[in-house]
Structure 1
Amino acid sequence: DRPVVWAWLRGDAEEIERVFREEGFPDVRVEPRVRPDGVGQWARVTFAVSPGEPRRIVGVEWPEGFPMEAWRREALLGLGAGDRASLPALREGLGRIVTFLRRYGYPEARAGEGTFEPAAGGVRLRVPVEAGRPVRFRFEGVAEERKRSLRRALEERYGRPVDDAWLREAADALAEVLRADGYRDAAVRFRQAGGGPEGRVITFVVALGPRVVVKRVRFHGNDSLPARRLLPYLSLVQGGLLRPPPFTQDALDRDLRVLAEYYATKGFWDARIELQEMAIAPTGAATLDLRVVEGPRYRWGEIGLRVDGTEPAPFREALGRLRRGDWADPGALESVRKEMVGILGAAGYPEGRVTYRTVVRPDGATVDAEIRVEAGPRVRVGKIVVSGNTRTQTKVIRRELALKPGRFWDPAAVRETRRRLYRLGFFQRAEVRPVPTLAPAGTRDLEVRVEEQDAGLAEFGLGYGTEEGVKGFLGLSHGNLGGYGRSLGGRYDFDRLERSLGLHFREPWLFNHPVDLRLSLIRRTADLDAYNLTSVAFQGSLERRFGPRARGSLAYTLEENRLTDVNPEALEAGDPTTSYLLSSVGPFVAWDSRDDPFNPRSGFYHEAQAEWASALLGSEVEFERYTGTVSGFWTSGRFTLALLARGGLALTLGRTAELPVNKRFFLGGRGSVRGFQRDAIGPRSADGTP
């Protein structure tokens, strides 16, 4: 995907030759060849490699008195007489030897630069490894599970002479490891013994002291903001998953900075928070006394705007969010700056800059702000080149581009393009960047470079539910069949009540249009209180998005149902419908304005679905069924209110007198109304069966 430049090809050939020489081919020759492939301006590049004869090792010399059995060192080195003289293999072998020595009592072990010396008939290998003196490390005063982290801290310093300076550094490092885990007063000293042929024994004696955990924080001088609004910003109090986080000076300094930044958002630009006193009980429980110097509370004063190179109107609207007399929140000023950067980008000014200057006036307790907008050159998108895709078809990438040739360059569209490419699931990296070309002034050519990852997926899960007992799933799928973005997969779900086996296919762009085709074949069995069910279903659907919030689909279902052990109380008048063929069609629409689909704090999610089963479609039962969901999220402070309403209506049609029991509505259980057993809400039979 790049221009053919002979100097670049020669450089690539030299790099290939260097790799071959390191692998033991001193006479290698690489010749680049270029051949047009007859399609436009594309060319095929081939590197012809003549490796020549390899160099062979004729002998290996080890340092005298090397502390390792001959068979073990030869196995770790991986090179011997007759092998090819490969520098990468030598480096790997030396690394294995050094790792083994350090693990088994030689912390000073290190390796020099591996080389091969010319000899008759080949080369001779001199192994450049120094084992050093044997040293054993011991720890006193700490539990076994903590010794592992201390040993790791020592291992980071291996490879140097273990002298007194090394031991003092190691003792300090061990103490820092312990302090980072909350042992504020931890101290480590060492003592030495031995020194003969068996080596030295060095013992690190640890004095831990109590593990310090913050249990209480008292604020002094916080006249404007109560403690309950400050405590959530202290990670030393609010952090930790299974136990309170340990106290460290770094964590305290970070929390104090966060508190000062929070005060600034309320207009206290000069606020300072300091540790006044810290009391630690013998158990390690700490009480912090924090002194708050709030200073004056500032309001916005004069707010100015200067725009160079474009129309100022859209920026004045954004500037209106900063009103004279409001509390001076630097975060709000930064938000307005970012919004203006987005306005510049959407108008085709990717190099535009937005800066601001503030002047604090303590006498009047105001902050003046001036925002300057420098538009820079207006740029349109030129040619778009796609590269890096070896398995994925180029058109699969191009159809996800939010940037189009001829349109204005928009950084938001660049981000949207990257988001769409990552959403496909078979790219581990996606970059959109300008490339230096001979494009006309005001035009910028783009390169969309991707890095692919394996699109195959094997997944499984296992859990337990009070209703379902042991539950789990197994799945195998591939998300990029033939490089066209198509997916095919199978999945098996099971628990005590239900089991299903499904085969699913998806074509994301049907006939090169943004219509999502989904086909599924599912076999399902269910053992419920009111009935047992065995069904085999085929379902096909067409789905399309309508903007960023709305989507809709049309689905067709062909389903063979067999009901057994139906509770007589669940049957209505007339012949029971126990085995039937269902053929139905119906639409589905959804509207999603939530700010985050996984952890929403604001917005709405609504959906509605209809299903019509008719003899005109070949169905043995006829009915119409409607369901809908309405939900909303509202946040105030730390709390989010979530409201959800669901409803359904099902009516029989034609000659069908009784709605099949598995098409009726049931409530209760974890999936609908919590606090009730599964399907426990609603009409019941005489024996209590839903």
Structure 2
Amino acid sequence: MSHSFSRFCAVLLGLVTCLALAADPFKLEDIRIEGLQRVEPGTVLANLPFRVGDTYTDEKGAVAIRRLFDLGLFNDVKLTAEGNVIKVQVQERPTIALVDFLGTVEFDKQALSKSLTDIGLSIGRPYDKSLADRAEQELKRQYINKGYYSAQVVATVTPAEKNQVLLTFNVVEGDIAKISKVQINGASAFKQQELLELFNLTEPNWLTWYTRNDRYSQVKLNSDLEALKSFYLARGYLEFAVDSTQVTISPDKQKITISISITEGRRYVVSDIVMDGNFLGQDKPFQSAIKFSAGQVYNAELVTETVKAFQDLFGDFGYAFSRVTPVTDLDRASGLVKVSLRAEPGRRVYVRKIVLSGNSRTRDEVIRREFRQTEASWYDGQRVRLSRDRLNRLGYFTSVSIDPQEVAGTPDQVDLMVKVEEKPTGALQVGAGFSSAEKLFLSAGISQDNFFGSGNYLGVQINTSRYNTMYSIETTDPYFTKDGVSRTYFLNHKLSRPYTVDLGSYSLVTQSLGLKFGLPIAETDKIFVGVMTEMTEIRTGDNMPKTYTDYINDYGSKSRALPLSVGWSRDRRDSYLAPTKGYMTRINSDVSTFGDVKYARLTAQYQLYYPVAPKLTLGLNTELGYGKGMDNKPFPIFKNYFSGGLSSVRGYSQGSIGPTTTATNSATGATTTVYVGGSKMFLMNLEMITPMPGSGNDKTLRLFAFLDAGAAFSDSQTINFSDLRYSTGIGLSWISPVGPLKFGWAQPFNSKTGDKIDRIQFQIGSAF
């Protein structure tokens, strides 16, 4: 018997009882309530259609019973008349004292409790059998959404003292159902495999343990169908349609088959492009913004890009609410399509004010100083987009949206509604990593990118490995002046040991304290100017190579330098961690003319990322370094460049490409080659990067093939391409939960006698 039917019977019984005790109307002298335990008397009285002093009738009694039952707080309600007094007798429903889950592994218990709270079932609420049944179905639905089609959920109710119940959901999750086959029917223009590569959902493969893309999800399927439709529309198939999708589960509920039926239709070629509507007398810039041309196969992606470009242009002219509609006129007989771009610019608008929301920690001024669109000025779409991009580059927010909102009563004015979603900008890091070069390294640090919401950066880092130990403190005020000049203080201590295990106990200690300013000269360009004091000590030890001895003879075991630095950077990459397009250029020079050590050092770097296909990126990295000593003294060894290793020329050991010296074992007289780096360096890395096959749209896991070239050179050498070391190979990069992971297998070539080959290299964690 269903709960609703039971409730109906209870109400009916109450009404029958009320009718059985029917009495003539009378003036009510008192109302007595019996049976309450947790419900307040006022709750009952507030739902009675009569008060003391009113005339009581049987009709009012029937209304009272219905109202009290509708509260959902009582199992039984009775009204009885004793003289001129009405007695309200209720039996409260038991309340839920505990909600527990047994047998759950896939879901966190707290998440399950929240999902039940959303449907009205939680601790402290009255127990309702129908709600418990609904909770069972809700839990089953969640398991089905995760692919557990055989999951069983049974609610157990245990009475407890004080009219309470303990509610336990016993779960048998079963095995997860996997996709055994995905079939597309009706495709003839493209191969089945080519179409299936568009899908996130896939049959099990060697990577689905990580991606879980072999688990069925209706949301993922809908996304895949949209990707399939976009694929056809981008290739001229305007009449493409998904006719049906059929998802079949095997009798044992372990396998899922997905069958998709499609109609491709005819492929269309653009015959004509017509601009229709009001283009503000600026037809030429709009014509230049069209991304496709007559004679080309129709491409919906290019049409969408054109619509967006038109809307951006209207926005640049101050029209925030323009409408651009592409209309296609198909000639099915000839396979031609005429495309009309209909434009309605609307009204030019003025920005009244900028309204911020979502920044509970970040101060308003930190956001407002990034805006290039100002209040009390004409709306400028280009400045609005630039403002949004600048906010995104801060790194304080997971999302930023800027939407114009019309001001009521003034259609020519808008408010810019800026909504940000803040992310934690502080980090306490304690970790470890491993690399083939440095073996085990440990790290600890605390940093805050948005210190107390001011936009300032504060960081303290400690890193230690087999060869290097480094401590650093750095703080940056990105708006030291209102014009956006940044100021950075930094303090570093670094101890470096030789890169070869058995070379002895000597080491190089460098301590530096500096101040640097960054001056913006464009939206993505900055000039850096800084000064630093740097103290260096060579701690002598066993088997110290001649190069270090020569340095001590020139400068002493302890020396000081006061370099001035000037640099310039431009970063127009679309992402810092996993770029797919754009470029970055960086040039930095250090000149030390004061102190014991005098030298000049110039370093330049250029990175380019170019998308050669939807899931294939060409990456180029080039670096050039040049150093020179002054006052007829050699370039200081602690400023040398090194080449070789996972972040340089792969396939060669860390720092092993370039000038060498020898160290003699004082006990045995044996000599060992020591890699000391050089005053010049050239590096080039060429990569073809693609998401890992089977990982869908996951950009954190990428596969790449590479070609590297590079070397370091001494003062007496010139950079000669015949002396460069080369390597080619494949690699894997993964931004994993424990930190960045990088793996590479390389085949060196053009190697020289004495080069140290290290074909397999890897690193887990952050590099120094």
**Structure 2 contact 487–517 (Cα < 8 Å) conserved:** yes
1:354–1:556: structure 2 CA closer, same or farther, 3 Å change rule? same
Could you tell me which residue of structure 1 aligns to residue 225 of structure 2?
256
In structure 2, do the counterparts of structure 1 residues 205 and 318 end up closer, same or farther at CA, with 3 Å as the change threshold? Answer: same
Equivalent residue for 1:475? 446
Q: Which amino acid aligns with 2:571?
A: D
| 1:553 is aligned to 2:528 | yes
Number of the residue aligned with 1:669: 645
Q: Secondary structure of 2:197's partner?
A: helix
> TM-score normalized by structure 2?
0.62
1:357-396 matches, within 5 Å, as: 357-380=327-350
Distance 2:590 2:159 in 1: 86
For the 8 Å contact 2:572–2:583, the answer to whether it is kept is yes
Aligned to 2:176: 211
State the partner residue of 1:46.
none
What is the distance in 2 between the residues matched to 1:454 and 1:246?
30
| Selected match of 1:640 from 593, 608, 617 | 617
1:147 CA drift (Å):
9.7
State the distance in 2 between where 1:130 and 1:360 align: 69
Match of 1:463 in 2: 432
Per-residue deviation, 1:415: 3.6
Q: 2 CA distance for matches of 1:129 and 1:532?
A: 84
Letter in 1 for 2:179: V
CA apart distance, 1:166 = 4.5
Deviation at 1:554, TM superposition (A): 2.3
Q: How does 1:291-440 map to 2 (within 5 A)?
A: 291-308=261-278, 310-318=280-288, 320-380=290-350, 399-404=369-374, 408-421=378-391
- Decide whether the 8 Å contact of 1:425 with 1:479 is kept in 2: no
Question: Which residue pairs with 1:247 in the alignment?
Answer: 216
Which residue of structure 2 lines up, in the alignment, with residue 524 of structure 1? 494
- Structure 1 residue corresponding to 2:589, chosen from 586, 595, 610: 610
CA distance in 1, matches of 2:95, 2:375: 68
What is the alpha-carbon distance in structure 2 between the residues aligned to residue 533 and residue 62 of structure 1?
A: 88
Asked if 1 retains the 8 angstrom alpha-carbon contact of 2:362 and 2:455, the reply is: no
What is the aligned partner in structure 1 of residue 560 from structure 2?
581
CA RMSD, 1 decimal? 4.7
Q: AA paired with 1:661?
A: I
Distance in 2 (CA, whole Å) between partners of 1:392 and 1:201 is: 44
Partners of 2:268 and 2:460 lie apart in 1 by 60
Q: What is the distance in 1 between the residues matched to 2:144 and 2:252?
A: 17
Q: Tell me which residue corresponds to 2:94.
A: 132
> Does the CA contact (< 8 Å) of 1:190 and 1:202 recur in 2?
no
2-structure distance, mates of 1:471, 1:421:
33
The 3 A distance-change label for structure 1 pair 284 and 622 is same
CA displacement, residues 129-148 of structure 1 (integer Å, 9 cap, x when unaligned): 956177999999x6766795
Contact 1:600 1:633 in 2 (8 A): yes
Q: How far apart, in 1, do the equivalents of 2:358 and 2:167 lie?
A: 54
The SS at the match of 2:672 is coil
2-structure distance, mates of 1:193, 1:507 = 60
Measured after TM superposition, the shift of residue 543 of structure 1 is: 1.9
Amino acid corresponding to residue 94 of structure 2 in structure 1: G
CA–CA separation in structure 1 for the residues paired with 2:546 and 2:248:
71
Deviations 1:600-637 (A, max 9, x none): 222322222222222xxx22122222222232222232
1:534 aligns with 2:514: no
Counterpart among 155, 159, 182 of residue 147 in structure 2:
182
- Cα deviation, residue 305, structure 1: 0.9
Render the CA deviation track for 1:564-586: whole Å, top value 9, x for unaligned.
Answer: 13622434757254321111123
* Partner-residue secondary structure (3-state), 1:297: coil
Give the Cα–Cα distance (whole angstroms) in 2 for the partners of residues 281 and 220 of structure 1.
24
Q: Equivalents in 1 of 2:361, 2:316: separation in Å?
A: 33
Q: Which secondary structure does the structure 1 equivalent of 2:428 belong to?
A: strand
Do 1:427 and 1:450's aligned partners in 2 also have CA atoms closer than 8 Å?
Answer: no
Are the counterparts in 2 of residues 523 and 535 from structure 1 also a CA contact under 8 Å? yes
Distance in 1 between residues matched to 2:112 and 2:457, nearest whole Å: 49
Cα 1:174–1:488, aligned 2, differ >3 Å: closer, same or farther? closer
Task: Determine if the alignment matches structure 1 residue 492 to structure 2 residue 461.
Answer: yes
**AA paired with 2:216?**
F
Q: SS where residue 674 of structure 2 aligns? A: coil
Closer, same or farther: CA 359–452 of 1 in aligned 2, 3 Å: closer
Residue range with higher mean Cα deviation, 197-206 or 255-264: 197-206
> Which secondary structure state, in structure 1, belongs to the residue aligned with residue 596 of structure 2?
coil
Q: CA deviation at 1:339?
A: 0.6
> Offset of 1:402 from its aligned partner?
0.7
Q: Structure 2 CA distance, aligned partners of 1:393 and 1:134?
A: 44
Change over 3 Å in CA distance of 1:215–1:659 after alignment to 2: farther
Query: C-alpha displacement at 1:431, in angstroms?
Result: 6.3
What secondary structure does 1:595 align onto?
coil
8 Å Cα contact 2:236/2:299 also seen in 1: yes
Q: Residue 564 and residue 368 in structure 1: after superposition, are their counterparts in 2 closer, same or farther (change >3 A)? A: same
Q: Secondary structure at the match of 1:689?
A: strand
Matching residue within 509, 523, 537 for 1:562: 537
Deviation at 1:340, TM superposition (A): 0.6
Alpha-carbon distance in structure 2 between the residues aligned to 1:289 and 1:169: 31
Unaligned runs of 5+ in 2: 1-32, 40-70, 75-89, 663-670, 676-768
User: After superposition, what is the alpha-carbon deviation per residue over 1:437-464, rounded to whole angstroms, capped at 9, x for unaligned?
Assistant: 999x96x486787999899845324121
Cα deviation for residue 664 of structure 1 reads 1.1
Q: What are the superposed Cα offsets for residues 284-322 of structure 1, whole Å, 9 maximum, x if unpaired? A: 344545444211112223321123261142454246423
TM, length-normalised to structure 1:
0.68
The letter of the residue matching 1:469 is L
Trace 1:264-275 onto structure 2 (pairs within 5 A): 264-273=233-242, 274-275=244-245
Is this contact kept in 2: 1:585–1:611, CA < 8 A? yes
Change (3 A) 1:539 1:306: same
CA separation in 2, counterparts of 1:218 and 1:479? 50
- Quote the Cα distance in structure 2 between the aligned partners of 1:284 and 1:385: 52
Give 2:464's aligned amino acid. D
Structure 1 gaps, min length 5: 1-60, 68-108, 113-127
- Shift, 1:561, TM fit: 1.0
User: Structure 1 CA distance, aligned partners of 2:155 and 2:359?
Assistant: 60
* Cα contact 2:185–2:260 (8 A) shared by 1: yes
For 1:263, the aligned partner's letter is Y
Q: Residues 388, 465 of structure 1: CA spacing in aligned structure 2 closer, same or farther, 3 A cutoff?
A: closer
1:151 is displaced (CA, Å) by 7.1
Distance in 2 between residues matched to 1:65 and 1:507, nearest whole Å? 62
Q: What secondary structure, in the 3-state scheme, does the structure 2 residue paired with 1:229 have?
A: helix
> How has the CA–CA distance of structure 1 residues 479 and 455 changed in structure 2, closer, same or farther, with 3 Å as cutoff?
farther
| 1:210–1:282 Cα contact (<8 Å) kept | no
| Partner of residue 635, structure 2 | 659
Q: Is 195-204 or 254-263 further displaced after alignment?
A: 195-204
**1:223 match: secondary structure:** coil
Offset from partner CA, 1:250-289 (integer Å, 9 cap, x none): 5434433431232122111222344478585969344545
Q: Measured at CA, do residues 592 and 110 of structure 1 come closer, stay the same or move farther in structure 2, by a change above 3 Å?
A: same
Secondary structure at the aligned position of 2:308 is classed as: helix
**1:172 match:** 137
Tell me whether 403-412 or 319-328 shows the greater mean CA deviation: 403-412
| Residues 1:559 and 1:605: Cα distance change in structure 2 (over 3 Å) | same
Contact 1:268 1:295 in 2 (8 A): yes
Tell me the matched-pair count. 564
Asked if 1:689 corresponds to 2:664, the answer is no
Compare the two structures and name the one with the higher strand fraction.
2
